[in-house]
Amino acid sequence: MQITLGPALYHWQPERWRDFYFRIADEAPIDTVVVGEAVCSKRMPFKQDDIPAVVERLEAGGKRVLHASLILVSLPRERRQTRELMQAAEVEVEINDLTCLASLRERAFAVGPFVNVYNEATAGFLAARGATRICLPPELPLPAVAAIAAAVPQIAVEVFAFGKVPLAISARCYHARAHKLTKDNCRFVCERDPDGMPVKTLDGAGFLSVNGVQTLSDSCASLLCDLPALGRAGVASLRLSPQSCDMVAVARLFREVIDERIAPADAERRLGEIYPDVPFSNGFLHGAPGHIRWEASGALR
Domain residue ranges in the chain? 2-165+217-286
Half-sphere exposure of 229 (CA within 13 A, CB side): 16
DSSP state of 301: -
Mean local confidence (pLDDT), 58-67: 98
Fold of 2-165+217-286: TIM Barrel (3.20.20)
Tell me the C-alpha distance between 39 and 212, whole Å. 8
The answer to whether the CB of 26 falls within 8 A of the CB of 61 is yes
| pLDDT per residue as tens digits for the range 74-86 | 999 999 999 999 9
Can you give the pTM of this predicted structure?
0.95
- Please, what is the average pLDDT of the chain? 95
* Distance from chain centroid for Cα 51: 18
State residue 131 phi and psi, 5-degree precision: -65, 135
Query: In this predicted structure, what is the pLDDT of residue 106?
Result: 82
297 has a pLDDT exceeding 50: no
Q: Sign (positive/negative) of CA torsion 135, 301, 217, 6?
A: negative
The residue among 4 and 295 whose pLDDT is bigger is: 4
| pLDDT per residue as tens digits for the range 94-139 | 999 999 999 997 889 999 999 999 999 999 999 999 999 999 999 9
